[in-house]
Amino acid sequence: MSAAPHSAVATRREGDVLVVSIDHPPVNALGVDVRRGLLAAIGQADADAAVRAVLIVGRGKAFIAGADIREFGKPPMPPPLHEVCNRIEASVKTVVAAIHGPALGGGLEIALAAHYRLALPAATLGLPEVNLGLLPGAGGTQRAPRLMGAKAAARLMLDGKPLSARAALAAGLVDRVAEGEDPVAAGLAYAGELLDSHAPARRISDIVIADRAAALAELDALQAETARKSRGLFSPLKIIECVRAAVELPFDQGLATERARFLECLDSPQRAGLVHAFFAERETAKIPEARAAQPRAVDRIAVIGGGTMGAGIAVAALDAGLPVTMIERDAESVARGRANVEKVYDGLIAKGRMTPEAKAAILARYAGSTSYEDAAGADLVIEAVFEDMAVKQAVFRELDRVCKQGAVLATNTSYLDIDAIAAVTSRPQDVIGLHFFSPANIMKLLEIVVPARTGADVVATAFALARRLKKIPVRAGVCDGFIGNRILAVYRQAADYMMEDGASPYEIDEAVRAFGYPMGPFQVADLAGGDIGWAARKRKAATRDPDARYVEIADRICERGWFGQKTGRGYYLYPEGARIGQPDPEVLAIVDAERARKGIAPRKFGADEIMRRYMAAMINEGANVVDEGIALRPLDVDVTFLAGYGFPRFRGGPMKYADMVGLDRILDDIRLFAKEDARFWKPSPLLERLVAQGRNFDNLNKAP
């Protein structure tokens, strides 16, 4: 006996209502089977005289999460989604959508094609296509403005953030909010009411937007704002163009405009980059250990060290509902750690985003202590003390002494050898790196650094914790700087070489910003504080390769006590606490003096050359990191840079960017630059192999 084939869309009669149930796990995305199933179901309803209404629902946790993103970039398969929506709207029966979970993108467009919309309290409704470099392409840009007004609809599409059921009701996006969790029961009750009252088959495409002049004036203002804010993004201005068409043109012509603009977005490299980012961020959690082992239970956390980083980690854990004990060396430091934690919540209260009562409730789960014994009950301990091997090893000896058996012992080091830290304990299988990024309660990236002897269940525990803390985890191996800081060190060096060879720090920052970064590397250095890097350089001076090129400009700046924003000057000047710096002629004089001292005749660098060198250095080291197994796949490098280093999301990450430019071109650049400095510009063996084989990084992105 063979089981009946799974059908993505099931229909069943409930009295005179045809219930059309979408059952396409995990999120009911509108793949080809769902589109065909929906068309067939509407045809069935229209052909059946006994059917008076159609109820569309989703099975599982979502109503419909949108078009199937995996189909983008592949040959289209009929029927297209916009035709399915038009067919639903044209149905001669009363069509009701009952929404109990996410109704996003094409999912909301299906609901907008229905004649009536009911939402349950857990529903979320949005048009987030902009996050994928797209615009709603199945009538959303034409129907949403007719229902909620041009400006509100444009904002919904530009923000890309979903509305709650209540907010959707207030915005006019749904007709009713009903209690409960069962969309079939609530939807049948609503459909029954509509039929009893002979409610008409109301079609949004028939609505004419009133007061066009006012709507167009609002769109003009929004367009100016969007042009300012969208920083090179392609789809936001196209969205406004489509909404303008909804105001100015008949429905069918508006749909044609939407179609044309949608296809332009679909073809854009930004769409490819953003869709890559979407899937890559979900792929990084798919690691061998998560399949091989069960995570340990984590109900209590201890944090060692209450500085900015320790406090940020404590806040991240508190926000996830975990009790936290913070250990510091003396009463004064305990108080300072608590103050650092409270400062975060006080900031939220000042902005009206938290009540004092909520803060008190969270802090009831927080305790400070000077005694390591108070970490004894923790299931997971995160050390966040001074970045020094001897100091960290001393902490781990203490943890080994007091912590209960089975506790996970984590270090937040950003570059130290975690095998050497684990080696001072009697339980290296329990030791792991959890590298948070500052501010730890905000930054999404969590590098999970796995030393040689760590147990698979400890790795699985770290990934489970990341999910709980709403972080994006990336698995990294042990090396100096792991994935992110190791690659950063190399492209920062490329930037320093360019500065010494003739580009000003301001030109380099400007080129990096024009590429899509929020800040350039010298602005970042000023924000982070020059003293930290200076101390690290001094520590490493003895082991530095004497034949490697070393740029001393940063040292000259630090010697003057110019550590960036906090001292009022660094690479830039920050008069009276300004946060945006001004170019500093004295810095340029220092740069000139260093060039002269080394006999370098400065030359001009255009923005294009600056970015070619910056990216070639980043990509080449990224390839080394993959080749050595420090990152599992190229996509892990991409996500590290997207979630932790401000890499422009629309470019998909450095490795995706390299694929899009062409690996042969990147390798040609590296070979060209190697003619000046073969020691620094050494092509990565992986890059050479891939070019020789005609393959790219994405070919390596299959699950490990």
Question: In Å, how far are 303, 338, 343, 350, 360 from 346, measured between CA atoms?
Answer: 21, 12, 5, 6, 11
CB of 66 to ligand 3H9, least distance (A): 3
Amino acid at 17: V
Is 109 assigned a catalytic role?
yes
Closer residue to ligand 3H9 in complex, CB, 174/255? 255
Q: State how far the Cα of 364 lies from the Cα of 120, in Å rounded to an integer.
A: 34
**Six-digit token pair at 380?**
């997971």
Question: In Å, how far are 116, 122, 185, 371, 548 from 180, measured between CA atoms?
Answer: 18, 9, 9, 49, 68
CB of 377 to ligand 3H9, least distance (A): 31
Closer residue to ligand 3H9 in complex, CB, 630/643? 643
CB of 50 to ligand 3H9, least distance (A): 33
DSSP 470: T
**Six-digit token pair at 502?**
């003739």
**Six-digit token pair at 88?**
């639903």
Residue nearest to ligand 3H9 (CB): 105
DSSP 405: T
Q: What is the dihedral of CA 153, 155, 161, 162, to 10 degrees?
A: -20
Beta-carbon neighbour count of residue 12 at 10 Å? 10
Active-site option among 89, 109, 281, 328: 109
Closer residue to ligand 3H9 in complex, CB, 74/604? 74
163: left (phi > 0), else alpha (psi -120 to 50), else beta? beta
Binding site for ligand 3H9 (CB under 6 A): 26-27, 29, 62, 65-70, 81, 102, 104-106, 109, 128-129, 132, 134, 136-138, 140, 279, 282
Amino acid at 473: P
Q: State how far the Cα of 65 lies from the Cα of 468, in Å rounded to an integer.
A: 22
CB of 335 to ligand 3H9, least distance (A): 39
Amino acid at 505: P
- For residue 109, which of 94, 93, 87, 131 has the smallest C-alpha distance? 87
Closer residue to ligand 3H9 in complex, CB, 65/691? 65
Closer residue to ligand 3H9 in complex, CB, 102/521? 102
Active-site option among 89, 129, 383, 447: 129
What SS3 class is residue 525?
helix
Cα 577 from chain centre: 31
CB of 422 to ligand 3H9, least distance (A): 31
What SS3 class is residue 382?
strand
Closer residue to ligand 3H9 in complex, CB, 70/166? 70
CB of 140 to ligand 3H9, least distance (A): 6
What SS3 class is residue 249?
coil
**Six-digit token pair at 607?**
């923005």
CB of 250 to ligand 3H9, least distance (A): 21
**Residues taking part in catalysis:** 109, 129
